């Protein structure tokens, strides 16, 4: 009943059927718990997450200082000679298998800008397993156990089904000698973080601030900038912990992970370098046993003698 001045107005409700009455009662009973659950917390689930803490020391540098220190490190090295243990893993995505190859003793000799000699010895007998040289334009690798040699250019133009045949000297040069940034190079510095020291039981981790120093190449037919190198630098130590090298398509060609920095004379250098080749599903690990630098290296240390009768395969 609604009362207006001077009169009464009666509102008549339309009768409902017993079935509709029951349906409304059921709907109210179903909706009531849903409306009350948020108030009681019944729809809230508590779970553990990682507890992040900053490192004890966080260092800072301006973009210009980062480039300056990177170039100073590059300029301080003219030659590098290393005795290493070399191990390799090849993944086969089609079968879901990975093959780990026995670690071999190896020797790496580098003379800037791009002279390289890498030799690996067979385990136990210490005879050559492979021998690779490069002058920065072409490379040759000799495999004595197979009486075979492979030569080709510095880049892979036609991929081989054999992952080892897709390896190039650049993966060693890029990983061991971070490239200098010239005055005309395009580059940028961005900030990021990474998680360290994960403890799955306590959920306590260190969230480390980092710098990403990226150099670019300009696309030949547009103004698009393509990443060329990205150096990831720890702000705890101001030392690189990762390098990403991109190909002309903007895909990662080589990725190097730097671990266990040690002092070799006055030089601070990673004692373990893990080199990944994602496009070939391959990984090579270098564990440094001995390292010398800035020694006099002659041209004949980068020459390779291939015996007569050796089969030579020329790669494209």
φ/ψ bin of 309: left (φ > 0), alpha (ψ from -120 to 50), beta (otherwise):
left
User: How many residues are listed for the chain in this entry?
Assistant: 316
Q: In a structure prediction context, what are the per-residue pLDDT tens digits for the chain, which is 316 residues long?
A: 545 455 554 555 566 666 666 566 666 666 655 555 555 555 678 877 777 788 888 999 999 999 999 999 999 999 999 999 999 998 887 788 888 888 999 999 999 999 999 999 988 777 888 899 999 889 999 988 888 998 888 776 666 666 667 778 889 999 999 999 999 999 999 999 998 865 556 667 888 999 999 999 998 888 899 999 999 999 999 999 999 999 988 999 999 999 999 999 999 999 999 999 998 889 999 999 999 999 999 999 999 989 988 888 887 6
Q: Which CATH architecture has domain 51-314?
A: Clam (2.50)
Q: What burial letters (b/e) apply to 111-146, b meaning 16+ CB within 10 Å?
A: beeebbbbbbbeeeeeeebbbbbbeeeebbbbbbee
SS (H, E, C) 202-243: CCEEEEEEEEEEEEEEECCCCCCEEEEEEEEEECCCCCEEEE
The Cα–Cα gap between 186 and 182 comes to 9
Domain boundaries, the chain: 51-314
Phi, psi of 269 (to 5 degrees): -145, 145
pLDDT of residue 229: 96
State the residue for tokens 């390292």: 291
Q: Which pair of structure tokens corresponds to residue 186?
A: 């395009």
State the residue for tokens 């300056």: 68
State the residue for tokens 């903007």: 250
pLDDT of residue 30: 63
pLDDT of residue 270: 97
């Amino acid at each position: 009943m609604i009362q207006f001045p001077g009169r009464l107005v009666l509102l008549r409700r339309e009768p409902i059927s017993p079935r509709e009455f029951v349906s409304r009662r059921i709907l109210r009973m179903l909706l009531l718990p849903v409306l009350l659950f948020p108030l009681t917390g019944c729809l809230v689930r508590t779970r553990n997450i990682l507890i992040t803490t900053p490192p004890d020391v966080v260092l800072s540098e301006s973009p210009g200082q980062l480039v300056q220190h990177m170039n100073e490190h590059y300029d301080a090295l003219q030659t590098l000679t290393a005795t290493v243990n070399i191990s390799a893993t090849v993944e086969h995505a089609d079968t879901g298998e990975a093959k780990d190859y026995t670690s071999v003793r190896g020797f790496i000799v580098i003379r800037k800008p791009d002279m390289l000699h890498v030799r690996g010895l067979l385990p136990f007998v210490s005879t050559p397993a492979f021998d690779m040289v490069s002058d920065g334009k072409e490379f040759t690798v000799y495999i004595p156990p197979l009486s075979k040699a492979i030569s080709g250019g510095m880049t892979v133009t036609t991929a081989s089904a054999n992952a080892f045949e897709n390896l190039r000297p650049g993966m060693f040069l890029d990983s061991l000698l971070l490239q200098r940034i010239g005055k005309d190079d395009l580059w940028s510095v961005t900030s990021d973080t990474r998680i360290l020291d994960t403890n799955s039981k306590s959920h306590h981790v260190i969230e480390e601030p980092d710098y990403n120093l990226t150099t670019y190449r300009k696309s030949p037919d547009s103004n698009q900038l393509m990443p060329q190198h990205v150096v990831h630098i720890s702000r705890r130590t101001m030392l690189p912990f990762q390098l990403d090298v991109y190909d002309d398509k903007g895909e990662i060609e080589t990725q190097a992970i730097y671990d266990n920095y040690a002092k070799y004379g006055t030089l601070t250098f990673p004692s373990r370098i893990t080199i990944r080749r994602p496009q070939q599903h391959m990984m090579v690990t270098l564990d440094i046993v001995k390292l010398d630098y800035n020694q006099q290296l002659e041209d004949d240390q980068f020459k390779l003698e291939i015996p007569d009768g050796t089969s030579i395969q020329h790669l494209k």
